[in-house]
């Protein structure tokens, strides 16, 4: 049992690609089979080395490790189609020799004219078979014109029926599957050739891919036949439903970010992304939603995959990400947070800073949904030139607030033990009990003065970590505003 993920990196891997990769991976792991990763870079005008590397990095970051493919190798390599060109040429020639395929000399303009005519005549579009049975004279004539022929597969009469693991039996009448091109005029292979040849040569048994490829399946099967494969040896197909954007269109930059890099920068955890994506078009069958990667491999089966498309919902992803963050141990949370803090310039990475971060993280673990919120939440602890946020200044310049700060200062200065219990006790008895203020009003003023914002981690714990000296200094500064 071997499952493959074979993207064509014409851009950054997006949510749909990743969902496919995830299902491929989970299915392989579930069955104890092999997960093969192959790069389909036959479209040299659109695939770049950068995108290929990005695809590799993305899969690694997500934890979707592969058993065969780039970097890890394997006995069926190479795993970049651009390095396998000779193989495709060979097969194309074999198909030519066996008359399964033929040279087609039609020009792009001629083809377009045929299609145009078909459109207006309202008949099934597709290649009209013009070059199927050219005479030697005709061929010679085309050659003398300098035309470079493409290799075109001859679709036999009849039809193709196959059983899709997700959709059941699917049939195509060959009247609607025209002869298709295997190799370009310059000899380079097309997807239809390379994908089928590689799946056979790499001994792939299960093809899980996007439903956009459903109608190209008869063509792949035709190539298997031409390669001499017995029907029982054809790979099994399962066409995954789309992941769509909010407005029912395919996911794009317009309706939500699609690049996985964006999610990583925002501070989404790989496990949250995988968990959420797993729920798009699949469910364990009960009410479970929060699953670890390990549980996913245990629970995942293609039979449970839907046939209908799903819409991507950022809110749900965020909710799951929040859950995953809360499930982290402090050390894990620390490891994930540090890069965000250094990148934001909040800390430089010294041991003292890291120690303080570690003490502060428990305070914010249940109040954030993305790691990118960590720097904003903890900035007040590290900032050198402290200043109250512009929007919040007005909150502490009124007389009532001044009185609160004045009194706070008076109560806190003499404290010999500086921890959240002693701070709270001092402030509560004076501000709330003696002055008779509402907690949210009184503590709100102290919060703005010490953290610089109306939103912060719990106040007394924050002040404890900030330290007595800094806390008092900020309150004094607040009084000057």
Partner RNA sequence: GGCCCCGUCGUCUAGCGGCCUAGGACUCUGGCUUCUCAAGCCAGCUACGCGGGUUCGAAUCCCGUCGGGGCUACCA
Binding to RNA in span 135-174, by CB under 7 A: 148, 150, 167-168, 170-173
Task: Enumerate residues 6+ apart whose C-beta is below 8 A from 8.
Answer: 39, 40, 41, 42, 43, 46, 47, 191
Q: Site for RNA (CB under 7 A): which residue of 322, 328, 376, 403?
A: 322
Q: Site for RNA (CB under 7 A): which residue of 20, 58, 160, 192?
A: 192
Minimum separation from the CB atom of position 459 to RNA (A): 3
Residue linked to tokens 């390379």: 194
Tell me which residues in 384-443 interact with RNA (CB under 7 A): 424, 439-440, 443
Nearer to RNA by Cβ, of 111 and 477: the residue is 111
**Residue 64: DSSP 8-state:** -
Nearer to RNA by Cβ, of 167 and 402: the residue is 167
Q: Record the tokens describing residue 229, joined without a space.
A: 């494969």
Q: Is 456 in the site for RNA (CB under 7 A)?
A: yes
DSSP H or E stretch at residue 96: helix 85-97
Minimum separation from the CB atom of position 461 to RNA (A): 7
Q: Site for RNA (CB under 7 A): which residue of 280, 293, 370, 374?
A: 280
Nearer to RNA by Cβ, of 226 and 317: the residue is 317
Q: Record the tokens describing residue 242, joined without a space.
A: 């789309």
Residue linked to tokens 């059941």: 168
DSSP string, 265-316: HHT--HHHHHHHHHTSSB--SSS-----HHHHHHH--GGGB-SS-EE--HHH
Tell me which residues in 10-29 interact with RNA (CB under 7 A): 10
Tell me which residues in 25-54 interact with RNA (CB under 7 A): 40, 42-43, 46
Tell me which residues in 336-395 interact with RNA (CB under 7 A): 366-368
- Piece in contact with RNA (CB under 7 A), picked from 56-64, 230-238, 264-272, 274-282: 274-282
β pairing state of 101-104 and 150-153 = antiparallel
Site string for RNA, 106-135 (x = CB under 7 A): xxx--x---x---x--x-xxxx--------
Q: Is 253 a residue of the active site?
A: yes
Which of 143, 253, 343, 410 is an active site residue? 253
Nearer to RNA by Cβ, of 298 and 349: the residue is 298
Nearer to RNA by Cβ, of 181 and 272: the residue is 181
Q: Site for RNA (CB under 7 A): which residue of 16, 256, 267, 281?
A: 281
- C-alpha 22, offset from chain centre: 9
Checking phi first, is residue 122 left (phi over 0); if not, alpha (psi -120 to 50) or beta? left
Nearer to RNA by Cβ, of 111 and 354: the residue is 111
Q: Site for RNA (CB under 7 A): which residue of 133, 232, 286, 390?
A: 286
Nearer to RNA by Cβ, of 91 and 460: the residue is 460
- Is the bond into 78 cis (omega within 30 degrees of 0)? yes
Please give the Cα distance from 333 to 328 (Å, whole number): 6
The answer to whether the CB of 157 falls within 8 A of the CB of 218 is: no
> How many residues sit in the footprint of RNA (CB under 7 A)?
87
Residue among 115, 114, 90, 105 nearest 181 (CA): 105
- Using the CB atoms, write b or e for 449-474: b if 16+ within 10 Å: bbbbbeebbebbbbbbbbebeebbeb
Tell me which residues in 211-270 interact with RNA (CB under 7 A): 211-216, 241-242, 248-250
Minimum separation from the CB atom of position 395 to RNA (A): 11
- Catalytic annotation, residues: 253
């Amino acid at each position: 049992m071997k499952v493959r993920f074979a993207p064509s990196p014409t851009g950054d891997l997006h949510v749909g690609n990743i969902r496919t990769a995830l299902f491929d991976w989970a299915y392989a792991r579930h069955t104890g089979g092999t997960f093969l990763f192959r790069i389909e870079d036959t479209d040299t005008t659109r695939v770049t080395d950068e995108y290929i590397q990005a695809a590799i990095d993305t899969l690694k970051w997500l934890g979707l490790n592969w058993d065969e493919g780039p970097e890890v190798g394997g006995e069926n390599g190479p795993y970049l189609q651009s390095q396998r060109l000779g193989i495709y040429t060979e097969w194309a020639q074999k198909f030519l020799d066996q008359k399964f395929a033929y040279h087609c000399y039609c020009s792009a303009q001629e083809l377009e004219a045929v299609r145009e005519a078909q459109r207006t005549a309202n008949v099934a579009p597709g290649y009209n078979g013009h070059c199927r049975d050219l005479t030697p004279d005709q061929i010679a004539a085309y050659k003398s014109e300098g035309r470079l022929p493409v290799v075109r597969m001859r679709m036999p009469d009849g039809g193709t029926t196959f059983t899709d693991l997700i959709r059941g039996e699917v049939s195509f009448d060959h009247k609607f599957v025209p002869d298709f091109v295997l190799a370009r005029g310059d000899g380079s292979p097309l997807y239809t050739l390379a994908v089928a040849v590689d799946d056979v040569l790499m001994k792939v048994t299960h093809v899980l891919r996007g439903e956009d490829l459903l109608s190209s399946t008869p063509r792949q099967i035709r190539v298997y036949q031409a390669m001499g494969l017995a029907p029982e040896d054809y790979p099994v197909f399962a066409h995954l439903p789309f992941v769509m954007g909010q407005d029912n269109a395919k996911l794009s930059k317009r309706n939500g970010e699609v690049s996985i890099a964006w999610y990583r920068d925002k501070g989404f955890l790989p496990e949250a992304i995988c968990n959420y994506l797993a729920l798009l078009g699949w469910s364990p069958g009960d009410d479970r939603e929060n699953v670890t990667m390990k549980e996913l491999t245990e629970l995942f089966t293609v039979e449970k995959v839907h046939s209908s498309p799903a819409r991507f919902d950022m809110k749900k992803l965020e909710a799951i990400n929040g859950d995953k963050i809360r499930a982290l141990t402090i050390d894990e949370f620390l490891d994930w947070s540090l890069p965000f803090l250094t990148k934001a310039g909040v800390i430089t990475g010294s041991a003292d800073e890291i120690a303080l971060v570690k003490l502060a993280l428990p305070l914010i673990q249940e109040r954030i949904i993305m790691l990118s919120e960590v720097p904003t939440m903890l900035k007040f602890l590290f900032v050198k030139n402290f200043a109250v946020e512009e929007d919040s200044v007005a909150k502490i310049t009124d007389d009532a607030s001044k009185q609160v700060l004045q009194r706070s200062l008076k109560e806190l200065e003499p404290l010999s033990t500086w921890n959240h219990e002693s701070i709270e006790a001092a402030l509560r008895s004076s501000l709330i009990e003696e002055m008779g203020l509402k907690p949210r009003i009184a503590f709100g003023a102290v919060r703005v003065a010490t953290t610089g914002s109306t939103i912060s981690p719990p106040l007394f714990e924050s002040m404890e970590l900030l330290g007595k000296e800094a806390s008092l200094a900020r309150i004094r500064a607040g009084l000057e505003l």
